[in-house]
Amino acid sequence: MNKTPNKLLIIILSVFLIQSAFSQKTPKNVVFMIGDGMGLAQVYAGMMANRNHLELERCTTIGFSKTYSADNFTTDSGAGGTALACGVKTRNHMIGMNPDSVAVQSILEEASKFKLSTGIVVACALTHATPASYIAHQVNREMNEEIATDYLKTDIDVFIGGGRKYFDDRTIDDRNLTAELREKKYKIAYTLDEVKAVTHGKLAGLLYEDQNPGMPERGTMLPDATQTALNILSNNKKGFFLMVEGSQIDWACHNNNYVQLMKEMLDFDQTIGKVLDFAKKDGNTLVIITADHETGGMTIIDGEVGTDKLKVLYSTKNHSGVPVPVYAYGPGSENFSGFMENISFKAKIEKLLKFKK
Ligand code: MG
Ligand code: ZN
């Protein structure tokens, strides 16, 4: 009879142990990294050029994303970015809107509403289709000045890239958005050194007049600006959402130039390494790496392992319709395996960050 309390204790302990074994840790921070045009052949070309190794191999979960848009088997970066950012399939060339031209909130805007810090770091103009999808709502991706205006309608903490002229040398109105950003307490940085000097507060890094140069001219802009963004955003104890884009993988592949692609791939992978180092140390950061689509219909039919000597073929100067790989690391990463729709990321992140049940 007097053994009953012990039995009860064992049952309670067992339940507790089973529960803790199955309760998965959820992230506080999310870094979403997009290699524009980065299909499997692009990743493998970078891997070969880098002695058969990439930082992104540290990711523990791998899946695939289906990239078709609402009106096209082969997406552009507007519909592709909108799918990843806003969770809706839309028409090609649209930004942050559904096919009926109704604005849809992005995961970045939602994170900001939930008092997380937010950021965008890209290797192209900040008004280009991919970053625009996270912050702007316009019917056409070419509306650079309207997209720049949308940056000021949000609470975004850090944005670093090119496209300065769309902020301060405008044709659609007389506004000087750089001056308006200063009034909103943003530090404005025109050089990478000025970016790197910032450790807290709000930062607008407008590093180039129009598009950023390609590699190697761009130097360490993308990894260094990403590190700065991580430093600033991690001041918020509530957490942060950061989008980072290796923007010019796509451009190299539009030109069917695999030598340039390798340089852009390694720049993006070096940036991935910095983010994974941060996530490993932090322990509360989920990192997701994927693409909006593949570019070039690229295949590798021969080569020397561990070198940049590859025999590469392309089937198009445009995008292709194949699924793209997804890589994930950190708490919650197990949710990103298997075949996924490109519109599934927003809902998964919302759930993991407890924005929605
Ligand atoms: Mg892009
Ligand atoms: Zn493209």
CA distances from 272 to 35, 84, 113, 327 (A): 10, 18, 27, 11
The 10s digit of each residue's pLDDT in 273-330 is 999 999 999 999 999 999 999 999 999 999 999 999 999 999 999 999 999 999 999 9
Active-site annotation holder among 69, 77, 247, 333: 77
Distance from the CA of 193 to the center of ligand 2, in angstroms? 30
CA distance 211 to 351: 35
22: pLDDT confidence band, cut at 50, 70 and 90? very low
CA distance 163 to 142: 13
Distance from the CA of 194 to the center of ligand 2, in angstroms? 30
Residues recorded for the chain = 357
Distance from the CA of 173 to the center of ligand 1, in angstroms? 26
Q: Counting ligands in written order, which one lies closest to the CA of residue 84?
A: 1
The mean per-residue pLDDT over the stretch 186-210 comes to 98
Environment class of 260 (CB within 10 Å of its CB; exposed 0-12, middle 13-18, buried 19+): middle
Distance from the CA of 357 to the center of ligand 1, in angstroms? 31
pTM for this model (two decimals):
0.93
21: pLDDT confidence band, cut at 50, 70 and 90? very low
The 10s digit of each residue's pLDDT in 211-231 is 999 999 999 999 999 999 999
User: What values do phi and psi take at 66, rounded to 5?
Assistant: -85, 125
**126 pLDDT more than 60:** yes
The domains of the chain, with CATH numbers, are 25-139+238-352 (3.40.720.10)
Q: Is 77 a residue of the active site? A: yes
Q: How many CB atoms lie within 10 A of CB 1?
A: 3
Q: Counting ligands in written order, which one lies closest to the CA of residue 126?
A: 1
Distance from the CA of 88 to the center of ligand 1, in angstroms? 17
